[in-house]
Structure 1
Amino acid sequence: MIETQETLNFTTMPLIIGVLALIFGTFIFIFALWRRNKRRKLTGIGEFTCSDRMINTKGTEKILQILATVLLLSGFILITYEALRTENKVTTEITAS
């Protein structure tokens, strides 16, 4: 019974951090795309009229997309690494018993 409880405990800190990184990366990426689409529509023309603000806006959107991509990749890598580590730990315990 104790072995079953240990093997079913998949919630670890790297897994939680990986899931949070995926969630925040997705939201940031969607926000950057939403902001770019809003800027290109007729309603966004009133908000983004100055040409000097346009350069800053494009730069901000590019930085947000890069940040979102880094968060998505790091979250995916953390989840994959933790899943492989947990699987290796379980198989090592099973073969050692």
Structure 2
Amino acid sequence: MIETQETFNFTTMPFISGILALIFGAFIFIFAIWRKNKRRKLTGINGFTCADRMVNTRSTEKLLQFLALVLLISGFMLITFEAMRIEDKVMTEETTS
């Protein structure tokens, strides 16, 4: 592997976007699980007493978990593809030099 400045520069825009997607996805997923657990406790029953709100609450939690899952998968894919692109770029530099 050629040790140039470019091989150590991993802070590209897709890499940063992937990390941010992973962070926000994990935060939203944890928030949805926390909200679900809070709703099931005895103190949370008072906040979610209406049956009409219960349907909206469950669908909101499922929507949040789906959004978090999409963010986690897309962040992982962005990081993976960017790492593969950088590695391919380094390999082509190595073979042409």
Fold in common (TM above 0.5):
yes
Kindly report which structure 2 residues correspond to 1:3-18, keeping only aligned pairs within 5 A, or say none.
Answer: 4-18=4-18
TM-score normalised by L of structure 2: 0.95
Kindly report which structure 2 residues correspond to 1:42-53, keeping only aligned pairs within 5 A, or say none.
Answer: 42-53=42-53
The secondary structure found in structure 2 opposite 1:47 is coil
**Does residue 27 in structure 1 map to residue 30 in structure 2?**
no
1:7 CA drift (Å): 1.5
1:6 CA drift (Å): 1.6
In 1, Cα distance between equivalents of 2:67 and 2:48: 23
1:94 CA drift (Å): 1.1
In 1, Cα distance between equivalents of 2:73 and 2:32: 17
- Matched residue, 1:93: 93
CA-to-aligned-CA distance 1:8-41 (integer Å, 9 cap, x gap): 1111000000000000000000000000000000
Root-mean-square deviation (CA, aligned residues, Å) is 0.8
Structure 2 runs not aligned, ≥5 long:
none
Structure 1 runs not aligned, ≥5 long:
none
- Matched residue, 2:80: 80
Q: How many residues align?
A: 95
Q: Letter of the aligned partner of 2:51 in structure 1?
A: S
1:48 CA drift (Å): 0.3
Runs ≥4 residues deviating over 6 A: none
TM-score normalised by L of structure 1: 0.95
